[in-house]
Chain A
Amino acid sequence: AADAKRIGLGREALPEEIAAWDVDVRPDGSGLPEGSGSVMDGEELFVDYCAVCHGDFAEGVDNWPSLAGGDDTLADEDPVKTVGSYWPYLSTAWDYVHRSMPFGAAQTLSADETYAIVAYILYSNYLVDDDFVLTKDNFLEVEMPNADGFIVDDRPETEYGRFSEEPCMENCKDSVEITMHATILDVTPDEQAEAD
C-alpha cells in the first residue's frame, strides 16, 4: 500500500542467501536449475536412497507411501493416490524430492540426482520409457495423467447454500436407530495403559 510507512528494521537479503533458500519450483518450470538425469541413473539412486521405504519399484513398503500405481482408482472405494495416479504437476515431485527427501536426510540430492530420481519415478508409473532422460528443457513435455483432476474449492456454490437453511428444532424425525458403533472396530488406544 502506498501510504504504508517502513519502520527500518532488518537488512537487505544477499543474492547468495536467496539462492540458498529460494529453491521452489512451480508448475511452469520456473525455479528449475540446469541439469538432467536418466531413468537408468535414477534407478540406481532410488535403490540406494529411497527403496528401503518406497520399494524397488516405488510401490511402497509397509505403511510408507507408494509413489507408483493406482491408475484409475480415484473414484474407487479406496483410491490409491500416487505421483502417477494423482499428482497434477511434475514440478511438485521435483521440488519435494529435492527439498525434503530422503526422509531423515533431506537436501542431500544434487540437481542432476533429483532429475534422475524423478525420471525413475515417471518410469515406475509407465509414463516414460527406460531410455528417458529428464532435463530442464523437456520437463514440461511430460504429461501427468491427473493434471485436470482438480477443481478450486467450490463449497460456496455446492454446500454453503444448502447448509444455511433454518434447521428443524422439534419432531425432526420419527425415530432414530444406531447404525454404527466405534467399539466394534475397537482400534482406539487404551488410555489407561498409557497413563500407567
Chain B
Amino acid sequence: MTADNEKKGASRRAFLKGAVAAGGAVAGAGMARAAEPDPLITEVQEWASGLGEGVDATPYGMPIQYESDVIRRNVEWLTADTISSINFTPIHALDGTITPQGCAFERHHSGAIELKKEDYRLMINGLVDKPMIFTYADLERFPRENHVYFCECAANTGMEWAGAQLNGAQFTHGMIHNMEYSGVSLRTLLTEAGMETTGDLSDKWVYVEGADASSNGRSIPMDKALDDVLVAFKANGEALRKEHGYPVRLVVPGWEGNMWVKWLRRIEVMDGPVESREETSKYTDTLEDGTSRKWTWVMDAKSVVTSPSPQSPITHGPGPLVITGLAWSGQGKITRVDVSTDGGMNWQQARLAMEGQTKALTRFYLEIDWDGSEMLLQSRAHDETGYVQPTKDALREVRGENSIYHNNCIQTWWVKENGEAENVEVS
C-alpha cells in the first residue's frame, strides 16, 4: 500500500464545497424568512434576457460544467498499473437506478480495446451441430430482447473486509452499474449452432472469452447459459461504450461482473469447465482455514445509503432530510429495505421508489426530520428469497477476512452534528 500521506480525505473538501454552495445560510429547523429580497429574483439575469446555445452547438452532449465532480475515479494504490485496473461509479451523486454510461465504472485486464463492428466476429464452437461464425450485422438480425440488470464487480467493497478503509460510497460500493440492455439471448445463438448432438445439457458448460489480450475466459454452466444470459450490443438505448465492450458484450444477470465478458468473440460448448485463470487464481474466495470457494457466481442481496454519505454530506442543517440509497440482489427482486439511524439498534422500513425488478438496482428513500444530532446510518436489503443482507461481522464469522470478493455487508456512515459523514465500523 502506497498511500499519499499528504492527501486530505474526500469528506472534508466535499463538505466545505457543499457548505459554500448552500450560501452558509443554515438557519435551523422551521420555515426560513428572508430579510432582504433575493437579487436572483429581483434583478433580471443574463439567461432571462440574452440567448442560450443553438441546437447545432452540441451534436452529442456532455453534462453541464457544474456537474464536473460526477465522474469515475480510480484509486492508484489498488493495482500495479491503470491498464489491468478498476475505477468507480459516482453513485453518491446519482439518483434513480439507471447509470449514465459515461460515468459507469470500468474494469479491464488488458485495457479498453477499440474493435470496429466491421472487424467483429463471434465464433460458436465445441459440442454443437455446426460451429458458426457471426458478424455484427448477423447479430442484429436475430430476435431481440430488452432487460435492465446490474453489473457488480465481484470485488466491490472488497477493500473493506478487514475494516473501514475508503471514505465514500463511490469507493466502497461504486464497482457497479445498472443499464437497460438490448441484445440476443444466448439461447437463440446456441440454437442457431444446433444442440441436437450436444447430448445431456445438464452437465454441459459454455466457455466464453473476449477479443482482448487478457481474453477474460470464464466457464458458465449450461442451465444459466440457456436461462437469461444475453449477448448485448446496446446499453441505455445506444451502442455499448468502448470501455464496456463495444460492439458486443455478455450480460450475465445476477452474477459477478467478471463473467460479463466484454468484446465477446467466442463461445465454446464443453463437457466441463476450463478452470481458467479468472476462475482459479482470481474470483475464488479464500476462507479462514485456507481453503477457497470456487464458482461463487451469484452476487447476494446488498444495499448502501448513497446520501448522506462521506462524499455527499448534509449541508442544509437540521430539518427535512432525504436519506436515499440503492439495493440489489442477484437472486431476484428486492422486496424491502430497512434503514437505521442509530447503528442498527432500531430500524424502519424505507420506501422503494419502484417495485423491485429482478437482478436490477432498486432505489429507496427514507424522509426524516433530522434534529441535527449524530447518526449511524445503515441500510439492510431483503430479497424475494427471504435473504436479509448480513452485517460485516456475520460474514466474517463464516468467511474470515481474506475472501476478497463478495462483500455484501451492511455499511455504516457516521453522520456528525455538522453534517459531515464518515465510513466507520460499529460494534
Main secondary structure of the interface of A (DSSP, over half): loop
- Pick from A12, A53, A106, A177: contact of B110, CB under 8 Å: A106
**Cβ of B152 < 8 Å from any Cβ of A?**
no
Instruction: Verify A176–B426 contact, CB threshold 8 A.
Output: yes
**Cβ of A191 < 8 Å from any Cβ of B?**
yes
Instruction: Verify A194–B73 contact, CB threshold 8 A.
Output: yes
Interface residues of B in 14-62 (CB under 8 A from A): 14, 17
Interface size on A, residues (CB 8 A): 87
Instruction: Verify A159–B268 contact, CB threshold 8 A.
Output: no
Interface size on B, residues (CB 8 A): 113
Instruction: Verify A182–B274 contact, CB threshold 8 A.
Output: no
Instruction: Verify B165–A185 contact, CB threshold 8 A.
Output: yes
**Cβ of B207 < 8 Å from any Cβ of A?**
yes
Instruction: Verify A164–B346 contact, CB threshold 8 A.
Output: no
Determine the distance from Cα of A151 to Cα of B401 in the docked complex, in whole angstroms. 18
Q: How far is the CB of B171 from chain A (nearest CB, A)?
A: 6
Q: C-beta contact mask, B286-301 vs A, less than 8 Å → 1, else 0?
A: 1011111111111010
Instruction: Verify A96–B277 contact, CB threshold 8 A.
Output: yes
Q: How far is the CB of A142 from chain B (nearest CB, A)?
A: 15
Instruction: Verify B125–A153 contact, CB threshold 8 A.
Output: no
Please name all residues of chain A whose beta carbon is closer than 8 Å to the beta carbon of B291 when the two chains form the complex: 74, 149-151
Please name all residues of chain A whose beta carbon is closer than 8 Å to the beta carbon of B286 when the two chains form the complex: 74, 79, 81
Main secondary structure of the interface of B (DSSP, over half): loop
Interface residues of A in 144-196 (CB under 8 A from B): 149-155, 158-160, 162-173, 175-183, 185-195
- 15 extra interchain contacts, Cβ-Cβ under 8 A, other than A91-B275, A154-B293? A2-B196, A53-B80, A79-B290, A83-B281, A87-B280, A96-B281, A151-B294, A155-B293, A164-B388, A167-B338, A172-B346, A181-B424, A183-B423, A190-B13, A191-B13
Can you list 8 contacts pairing A with B, beta carbon distance less than 8 Å?
A10-B138, A24-B274, A26-B274, A99-B215, A150-B292, A173-B345, A176-B426, A188-B310
Give B residues with C-beta under 8 Å from A. 1, 3, 5, 7-11, 13-14, 17, 68-69, 71, 73-77, 79-81, 83-84, 109-110, 123-126, 130-135, 138, 141-143, 163-168, 171, 188, 191-192, 194-196, 207, 209, 213-215, 217, 265-266, 268, 270, 272, 274-277, 280-281, 284, 286, 288-298, 300, 310-311, 338, 342-348, 376, 380, 385-390, 394, 398, 401-402, 414, 422-427
Give A residues with C-beta under 8 Å from B. 1-2, 4-7, 9-13, 17-18, 21-22, 24-27, 53, 62-65, 74-75, 77-79, 81, 83, 86-89, 91-92, 95-96, 99-100, 103-104, 106-107, 149-155, 158-160, 162-173, 175-183, 185-195
